[in-house]
Amino acid sequence: MRIAEEIKKNTQYGEKVILFGVSQVHCNELANAVNKVFQNDNSEKPYYAEAVISENNELNETLKAWFKKPYQKPYITVSVDILSTGVDIPCVRYIALAALTKSVGKYIQMIGRGTRLDPKTGKFSFQILDFVGLCKRMEDNGKGTLKENNKVVKPGDPKKQTGGTTNPKGEYFLIDNPDPANLIQRVEIHGDSIIIKDNIPIVEAKRIFEEELKKSQEPVMVELKEKAQQPEYQPTEEELAKFIKWLSLPNTFMDEGHLQKMYDYPEGSAWDFLLHALGKKKIPTPKERIEKNYLSYIHTYNFTDEQIVILKKIKEVFASNLASKRDIDIKEIFGNPIYERLIGSYDSINKKFDGKFNLVINDLKQTFGTRASA
């Protein structure tokens, strides 16, 4: 309750806040506490504060879409890490920390959610509400150029009233403009003719694939599902071809490339995804693959203990960025004062690697980028 009261004390009604919690249970508790201190009546969704956690992906996408809109509830979202990467919400004015992390990269990503300017809503800077002392642990002095933000919304106002604009006459509606990177384009192929069937969110595409696979009673699929129950069974090329053909049929309209995109596993085979959908073999996350390849990499070469400590910090930076599909180079790392303060200066580290630090970094990047399935 103390965190919720401090948030109310240090923010204005209607300002957007991302609050990071320790666990899903913790996030729900924080959201409930915030709603209580802001006297949200909980009569209808969305509430003043909402927990965005991984138990319900469809609900999460809806909540994030609501949160991106200024002057509309939820004003505060609470998350473990779903909102730490790959989310662009310029109107966020506060990053609130109620959880610790040892990862430099994750810390940068969490703080980075507040760095976008949003002149349209009068947001020119952001503040960090640190309830756990994480900034001090990261030796972040918080210095920046502060420009005062404009007032957002008064308590009880559903929307900010703006002058000079009027709503269009007659019936109208807003059309979302989703990022194609988060969509699966399904096509129907007839000979040389290709018809685009639809573009659906990745979450929806996963649901369709997994449900159709589990309920399919076609003989070829029934046989494949039975064989999938056998430990270490490897399908023949003919069996894989039959599975991929089934994927392209009207119930799914998909192919192997769709599955690789849906599960963020470019190196995965159709069989990997079948086993995952049936609960027989979990597909590793990008961070899990990076961690595994990092361990393989440092055991391949004779690094000193001091060098391994440095590489571990570098790995955490790359893991956070690569897992969120963002490339990062050595100039960006050592051009960031927080990274440099935590890892060390480029010149001092380069000496510890006998002047070959660039080669090591390039090798490490290739390891993460091209050996993610190892």
Q: What is the chain's length? A: 374
Q: What is the reported pLDDT for 151?
A: 65
Q: What is the reported pLDDT for 7?
A: 93
Q: What is the reported pLDDT for 167?
A: 45
Q: Is 173 helix (H, G, I), strand (E, B) or coil?
A: coil
Q: What is the reported pLDDT for 170?
A: 45
Eight-state DSSP code of residue 99 = S
Structure tokens at 159: 């929307």
Domain with CATH 3.40.50.300 in the chain: 2-137
Secondary structure (H, E, C), 103-172 = CHHHHHHHHHCCCCCEHHHCECCCEEEECCCHHHHCCCCCCCCCCCCCCCCCCCCCCCCCCCCCCCCCCC
CA 319, 138, 145, 98 torsion: positive or negative? positive
Strands 183-190 and 193-201: antiparallel
CA–centroid distance for 358 within its chain: 29
Helix axes 57-67, 202-215, angle to 10 degrees: 170
Instruction: Find where tokens 């927080």 sit.
Output: 338
| CA-to-CA dists, residue 92 to 72, 162, 372, angstroms | 12, 19, 33
Q: What is the reported pLDDT for 274?
A: 96
CA 10, 14, 16, 20 torsion: positive or negative? positive
Q: What is the reported pLDDT for 321?
A: 65
Structure tokens at 127: 């503040």
Q: What is the reported pLDDT for 160?
A: 46
Q: What is the pLDDT along the chain (374 residues), one digit of tens a residue?
A: 789 999 999 988 889 999 999 888 898 899 999 999 988 777 777 889 998 875 456 666 777 888 888 888 899 999 887 665 556 788 999 999 999 888 877 888 888 888 888 888 888 888 999 999 888 888 776 655 555 666 666 555 554 444 444 444 444 443 444 556 678 888 776 665 667 788 888 999 999 999 999 999 999 999 999 999 998 899 999 999 999 999 988 889 999 999 998 998 888 899 999 999 999 999 988 778 888 888 988 888 889 999 999 888 888 877 766 655 556 667 767 776 666 777 788 888 999 999 998 888 888 877 776 433 33
Q: What is the reported pLDDT for 169?
A: 46
Structure tokens at 331: 């100039």
CATH architecture of 2-137: 3-Layer(aba) Sandwich (3.40)
Q: In terms of Cα–Cα distance, which of 53, 10, 11, 46 is closest to 30?
A: 53
Q: In terms of Cα–Cα distance, which of 42, 52, 65, 44 is closest to 21?
A: 52
pTM of the model: 0.46
Structure tokens at 63: 């909540």
Give the CA dihedral 62, 200, 323, 284, nearest 10 degrees: 110
* Inter-residue contact 17 to 7 (CB < 8 Å): yes
Q: What is the DSSP string of 291-354?
A: HHHHHHHHHHTT--HHHHHHHHHHHHHHHHHHHTT----HHHHHTSHHHHHHH--HHHHHHHTT
Instruction: Find where tokens 């069974």 sit.
Output: 233
Strand partners of residue 4: none
